[in-house]
Amino acid sequence: MDKNVIREYIKNNKRINYHFDYEEDSGKVKLFNDEGYEIDPKIALALAEELNHTYKNMSEYDLNEIKKQNAENEYWHYTLCYGPNSLETAFRKNLKRKWSFSCKNCGKKVSSDKDKSWWRISGPNYESSNKYCSKKCIDPIISDIRSDLKASMYKSFDVQ
């Protein structure tokens, strides 16, 4: 099929979700759209040929770049939903009882009557009782957690 025809088809059908079906009896793989219609066989064949052209002789470098991109996407989605992020909380004024803690990073004493706010790590998987005196103190902690997270994403996507 003419490459321009397939280019037009892809451009006009960007919103289709494709579904593959494997027919047990015949061992054939078929392509359907999200409404359950089988894709025009000529189009399906042209798509298969283009995919073959794209992926057949991929270099290790290109394969790794795809894995890396997928790992980066996973990292981005994960951190967007689950953090970790830094969260500043202001000390309430007129507290009946003052309270204080020592910054988990620098050890400085932070107290409700002398300081304006305190920091903690937020994100459903990162709850802890650790408290920090400032953004400057919490940022390196967040950064370490995020680098470990990224390394584990790279590992799970087998990025070399």
Q: Which residues contact Zn ion by CB under 5 A?
A: 103, 105-106, 108, 133, 137
Helices (H) and strands (E) in the chain, counts: 4, 6
Q: In this structure, what token pair is assigned to residue 66?
A: 């795809």
Cβ-based burial of 90 (10 A; exposed 0-12, middle 13-18, buried ≥19)? exposed
Closer residue to Zn ion, CB minimum distance, 3 or 109: 109
Give me the DSSP letters along 41-87.
HHHHHHHHHHHHHHHTT--HHHHHHHHHHHHHHHHHHHHHHH--EEE
CB of 121 to Zn ion, least distance (A): 13
Closer residue to Zn ion, CB minimum distance, 137 or 153: 137
CB of 137 to Zn ion, least distance (A): 3
Closer residue to Zn ion, CB minimum distance, 86 or 105: 105
Helix (H, G, I), strand (E, B) or coil at 140: helix
CB of 86 to Zn ion, least distance (A): 12
| CA 134/CA 144 separation, integer angstroms | 16
CB of 84 to Zn ion, least distance (A): 17
